[in-house]
Amino acid sequence: MEKFIVKGGNRLEGEVSISGAKNAVVGLIPATVLAGDTCIIENLPHIADVLHLSEILNNMGIKSEFIDKHTLKVESGMKPHSDPQYDLVNKIRASYYFIGALLAKYKRAEVALPGGCNFGGRPIDQHIKGFEALGAKVVIEHGVVKASADKLIGANIYMDVVSVGATINVMLAATMAEGTTVIENAAREPHVVDVANFLNSIGANIKGAGTDEIKIEGVSELGGSTYAAIPDQIEAGTYMVAAAMTEGDVTIKNVIPKHLESITSKLREMGVSVEEAGDSVRVYGERPYKAINVKTLPYPGFPTDMQPQMLTLLSTAEGNSIVRESVFDNRFQYLTELIRFGANVSAEGKVAVVNGTTDLTGAEVKCTDLRGGVSMILMGLNSKGETKVSDIRHVDRGYENIVSKLRGLGADITRIEE
Ligand code: UD1
């Protein structure tokens, strides 16, 4: 089993370049199913979820191959001969996008319920509500979502909750429906916009992505395109926190500063310096940091995917902070691990109380999920002595070359086989 060994105390300095956005590309790759011609997706992060999605396409009979580590060529015109394979679908949350894409193009999809991080119940009722509104019949049998339709017809769909997954999935399904679909109370995340931009690049007619009302005029045929994914907002935010955590000075390159605004503003509130310049941000700081309150919200609010990293930083600030998780029911599982370092943190329901301390010592910890897992590394960077992190497959799902990127900034981190 692979583990990370982190020796704390090094200040991070220098430059790091951010990879393509995981949550965008996990939508872009299934979306290629809709295309009528070859698609080339560039700026892909080289992470486990991307490799799995490419494998799912190949197993379905849609040829996909990496031209290089970051570029995938998909022969999108090919008709799939089988359904997405259960044991791969089961590993990734975003595999549910195959339902929307296959339903749109072939009027039929059978995809096992998705995997991904466990934050309590993660229902897909809004996805199903959207497919049904477009005229599909959807049943769940033996853990498999079975959706079919004679034809899909545009509809007005109001999302009861702001959901990234449901917005993208229904957008995929509506792309080739007859007539107009309007998604109201849509998610506004940058990755929703990225998937819409890709779909438009192959001939779809989608307007309003990035607002809470998305309008889709169905088209009967789509072509192919070459499309580059946006940079990863959460990877960037994680390195911003890493810089602050180690009282370092790091320039984070290849970012869209606008996407980082909520993170930047919270770091500044703590007393961390953030300077924006073109497509990079420079982050530096010195303790003591101020305790602050954070509440996660859909974009443009503070992202739930940055909650563990931010709370970890706050656990080293001066005073008490309150962190409210308002997106997921159960996203504080990693706190049990943070406590092993000596952090004073506790949670009740969706609220965590953090009492800052700088008296932290390295510990043996495990990753409970992707962002909770990366927070173990962040904590290790700032703790005295050695930290051993297990269950690192979670981190590998979302962070490209995390060891070499951190080492490039001066961190003492290695990956070992134990
Ligand atoms: C996506 C991201 C994930 C991020 C999350 C919130 C991907 C692959 N994953 O997950 O990293 O943490 O957005 O930004 O992009 N909900 C329902 N019914 C539904 C769908 C969602 O009740 O049909 C609820 C969820 O339980 C949750 C909230 O809506 O409480 C938001 O979830 P959603 O935005 O859908 O998250 P995901 O798409 O699963």
User: Do both 258 and 186 map to the same domain?
Assistant: no
Find how far residue 2's CA is from the centre of its chain.
23
Catalytic residue among 117, 134, 335, 379: 117
Residues 223 and 235 in one domain: no
Q: For residue 2, count CB atoms less than 10 angstroms from its CB and return exposed for 0-12, middle for 13-18, buried for 19 or more.
A: middle
Active site residue 117: yes
> 15 with 118, same domain?
no
What confidence score (pLDDT) does residue 118 get?
77
**Residue that is last in its domain, among 163, 195, 228:** 228
In angstroms, the CA 159 to CA 161 distance is 5
pLDDT score, position 137: 98
- pLDDT computed for residue 114 by the predictor: 80
Q: Rounded to the nearest whole angstrom, what is the distance from the C-alpha of residue 124 to the centroid of ligand 1?
A: 9
Same domain, 212 and 242: no
Whether residue 152 sits in one domain with residue 129: yes
Looking at the structure, tell me whether residues 194 and 89 fall in a common domain. yes
**Shared domain check, 239 and 177:** no
- Do residues 107 and 171 share a domain? yes
pLDDT given for residue 143 in this prediction: 87
Residues 249, 204 share a domain: no
Query: For residues 181 and 155, is the Cβ–Cβ distance under 8 A?
Result: yes
Domain boundary (205, 228, 251) is at 228
> Starting from the edge strand earliest in sequence, which strands make up the sheet with 144-148, in order?
108-112, 144-148, 137-141
Residue 55 pLDDT = 96
**DSSP assignment of 173-188:** HHTTSBSEEEEES---
Nearest atom within ligand 1 for CA of residue 124: 23
Predicted TM-score (pTM) of the model is 0.97
Q: How many domains does the chain have?
A: 2
Query: For position 96, which CATH number holds?
Result: 3.65.10.10
Nearest alpha carbon, ligand 1 atom 32:
163
pLDDT at 313: 98
Domain boundary among 228, 259, 291: 228
- Relative to the CA of 93, which ligand 1 atom is closest? 8
Residue 109 lies in domain: 22-228
* Same-domain pairing of 9 and 42: no
User: 270 and 174 in one domain?
Assistant: no
The per-residue pLDDT string of the chain (418 residues; one tens digit each, 9 = 90 and over) reads: 999 999 999 999 999 999 999 999 999 999 999 999 999 999 999 999 999 999 999 999 999 999 999 999 999 988 899 999 888 888 888 999 999 999 999 999 999 988 767 777 788 999 999 999 999 999 999 989 999 999 999 999 999 999 999 999 999 999 999 999 999 999 999 999 999 999 999 999 999 999 999 999 999 999 999 999 999 999 999 999 999 999 999 999 999 999 999 999 999 999 999 999 999 999 999 999 999 999 999 999 999 999 999 999 999 999 999 999 999 999 999 999 999 999 999 999 999 999 999 999 999 999 999 999 999 999 999 999 999 999 999 999 999 999 999 999 999 999 999 8
pLDDT of amino acid 135: 98
DSSP 277-303: ETTEEEEE--SPPBP--EEB-STTSB-
Taking CA atoms only, the protein residue closest to ligand 1 atom 26 is 122
CB 211 within 8 A of CB 140: no
